[in-house]
Amino acid sequence: MELRKLLGDRVVERLASSQRFAALTGAGVSAESGVATFRDPNGLWAQFRPEELASMEGFLSNPERVWQWYQYRRHVIERVRPNPAHRALAELETLVPEMTLITQNVDRLHQRAGSTRVLELHGNLEENHCADCGLPYCDRISDESPPRCPACGGLVRPSVVWFGEMLPADVLQEAERTARRAEVFLVVGTSAEVYPAAALPFLAWQHGATIIEVNPTPTPVSAIAHASIREKAGSALPALVELIAAVRTTDGMGQTTLRRR
């Protein structure tokens, strides 16, 4: 079905006239670049439960194993590239007055694609900090074992959110503010089952946003979505952004209006 017909006139009009866009992205977006999820580990890592590799308890019981797991993930991410979904979201930022990207992914592929306003709910794999005092650690690291903090001697850990940990309060607050203000809210490549991230589309919907879901299979968001595109993000988002570019035009006052065909 043609995308414009699938979305419907009311959704297309919102795409044409809205000033504030936001998107929530999940593991499905990164998977198309070859980044495996915790549900799909490779090789020797498949024998471990996620909690053994991504929790403070797992880290304290075997720091070397957890550190080597994250070094493995970092090396995987170094080899992959942003895919068309990442690039489409970066392009969308150039088409609308305000575009905020909220991601559950830790690979920073959105930034590598060119997105500049990104809220990382679960942290990122590029950075490290002391598990005891919180001091950022920027020195060289090895693949074998975590370094020690130069300030307190504590173990250095990846700056990602582990199981049982709270999301960064400032990032979550900004994500919630973004959801409340959004006029169009995209939900892309996520199961929408992990909270508090999964609550953001519903918060946006409660405040009047048009919800567009992009996912091959239904999710809890499907019940409130004004439109659901049942495709992978890599094929759906370029077409969606192309449509947004086609229907938007700017008048002399900087306001967007629907471009009639």
Which residues are marked as active site? 122
Structure tokens at 114: 């060119």
Q: How far is CA 35 from CA 64, 80, 121, 204, 258, in A?
A: 22, 8, 18, 28, 38
Which residues 6+ apart lie within 8 Å of 177 measured at CB?
Answer: none
Residue 252 burial class via C-beta count within 10 angstroms: exposed 0-12, middle 13-18, buried 19 and up: exposed
User: Which region holds residue 153: left if phi is over 0, alpha if psi is between -120 and 50, else beta?
Assistant: left
Contact 168, 123 (CB under 8 A): yes
